[in-house]
Structure 1
Amino acid sequence: MKPEKAVLTGRALRETVEARARHLGFEAFRVTQPHAVPDLRERLPAWLAAGHHGTMDWMEERAEQRAAPSALWAETRSIIMLGMNAGPQRDPLELVQMKDRAAIAAYAQRRDYHDVIKGKLKELGGFLSARSGEPVKVFVDTAPVMEKPLAQAAGLGWQGKHTVLISREHGNWLMLGAIFSRAALESDTPETDHCGSCRRCLDICPTDAFPAPYRLDARRCIAYLTIEHHGPIPHAFREKIGNRIFGCDDCLAVCPWNKFAGAARETRMAARDDLAAPPLAELARLDDAGFRARFAGTPIKRTGRDRVLRNVLIAIGNSGDAALADEAVACLQEPDPVVRGAAVWACGRLLARERLQQLFASYGGGEAEADVLSEWGLALR
């Protein structure tokens, strides 16, 4: 029989687990306590009450657990916050100038970080449990855990005026995970705010999604509109979305703290060449099987073809490229009315009125859903 490993505590436990975390590819490791962010009990309900979460009902459904980690697991004594660098290889702002191509958020141009980080968290959690003799729970993004405030309390960085965590070592590009443990670990010092008077992230936002510094109205955020929002994109934001078909990196890309950041080092977090700036025409032609094959293993696949195609059509309408009009015309036959509505809008932006009238005459008129007919009415004005 192999001898049992001795149970570690205190500094020895911390150093052993941190070394293992570094070995697994985590570039940031800090510890905090479940009661380290007491004002979450006021901040989160106020944000929800203002409706700034939009249709993300899951934010409200487990709000008590989000606001108090001990409500998620009462036995928690320590919270290890971990970060993995996911810095892009090129400036994301270059992509939004390529009007005939799709701009995809840097984190989505690669394998789904949930899969990569969750596996490593489970391995590290098992290692911690074996060395401490105490149970653990691991979380990455999908659980009711407020990772960014906890990461600030642990000293990984601070929440900038755009509400995203900023690290002095990795800029805006850390992907976060958490391990809740019953083991007692010494806490790190919380990070302080280093934004100063800078407001680059606020000023660059195309849709003015920040009603005030450190506050985000998700209903105006391009990331929310292109990923979380299920219905038609509100007309007020369509032109401002530009060619962004999945997420938006503008407020992240302009942060001056990125000068200390580097590209992702974890090989499974490397960006895929075919997702760097794919042609809009190519994406518009993907059927369901083609969509699933193209985006297999990425966060984009979870959003689904119809929502992404809606976004692609908005980008086509914003391209100013008449050569892409045929792609929008082809999508007038799509089963999903939201997709058809986006196709009508794109046609209205790219085609002459006479051609639009011909298309409407052959479209079916009164057989269409009211919202699609409304799109036609606006296009034919």
Structure 2
Amino acid sequence: MNRAPGPVRLLPALRAPAASRGNAVPAGAWWLWALGLATAASRTTNPLLLGLLVGVAGYVVAARRTDAPWARSYGAFVRLGLFVVGVRLVFSVLLGSSVPGTQLLFTLPEVPLPDWAQGVRLGGQVTAEQLVFALYDGAKLAALLICVGAANSLADPARLLKSLPGALYEVGVAVVVAMTFAPNMVADVMRLRTARRLRGRPTGGIAAVLQIGLPVLEGALERSVALAASMDARGYGRTADVPPAVRHTTNALTLGGLLGVCAGTYGLLAAQGAVYGLPLLLAGLVAALAGLRLGGRRSVRTRYRPDRWDARAWLVAGSGVLVAAAMIAAGGADPEALHPGVVPLTAPVLPLWPAAAVLAGLLPAVVAPLPPSASPVAPEEQA
């Protein structure tokens, strides 16, 4: 008599597979997931929801990032976000705020300014309301940066370049080179700091920064020269001949579509433009896709092993879109919960169903293939 499979035998079937070149999540899916979280962060100033979004992004990065150089840039984006919050608070203290407040904390010496600088002050009274408002505002921007940092840590820039349509290949190369600059620089700095630490040399102070900066710039220059040589060897910049009418139509559709996408995205992000934002975004996407389709005729390059969008990739991208859509809907249904008041000061409350929707962003930590360093060993393999 056959026994029913127990939970121990079912566990390997439910576990995410180990990542390989054939089943890796496309870079575009990671970026859609991260942009969905960033859109959700832009719709709220509730620090509890922002902290939950940052926690979701951090958990997915910790569970699914690889050992590649660009995967180490997440910590730099977190520190950048904290720096942004600090700068926002300092500016609020020094330059004041338009938020009225009654709970005075302290008073700084005020510098008199000329008449043409009315509305701007240096120093003066600092209230608790203006500091809380600055904290909420800085936390929103920090959450946006951290979500973008999550995409930088999870998505392979080279694979993202392969996924771009032919019409955007030249622009995509410039964008990918710019995107890889920060992760590679962070990796170089960490490598040089480790080398100095092993040699017993100091890693802090102005002298150490100057001694580390020169090798970092030298490495960036060497990578630029190597990249230029590889692009020249691969025939970068070659284009096919297309009729002038097709070229003009492509330019008009692409430019008009991108303008529609920008206007629609602004409408979705702004609280007043939610009505016209979605139609403009959809119309812009259709026009831009048509223009990119026509513009692809100019490209004579081919794709080697193009990325496949399987069910796991769609789940990763869809989870980010779901978080963004839920937060936009919550902003229309209960805007007070997403934007806690500061005059008078009230403690922020965690809204339940927007928080539950944010937790849907954890889906990539379950369905995305495990990187090689995090792949678990099955019990029968340990025996």
Interval of TM-score (by shorter of Structure 1 and Structure 2): under 0.3
Ranked by relative contact order (alpha carbons within 8 Å, sequence separation 6 or more), the top structure is 2
The structure where helix makes up a greater share of residues is: 2
Q: TM-score, normalised by structure 1?
A: 0.27
Q: For the pair shown, which has the larger CA radius of gyration, 1 or 2?
A: 2
The structure where strand makes up a greater share of residues is: 1
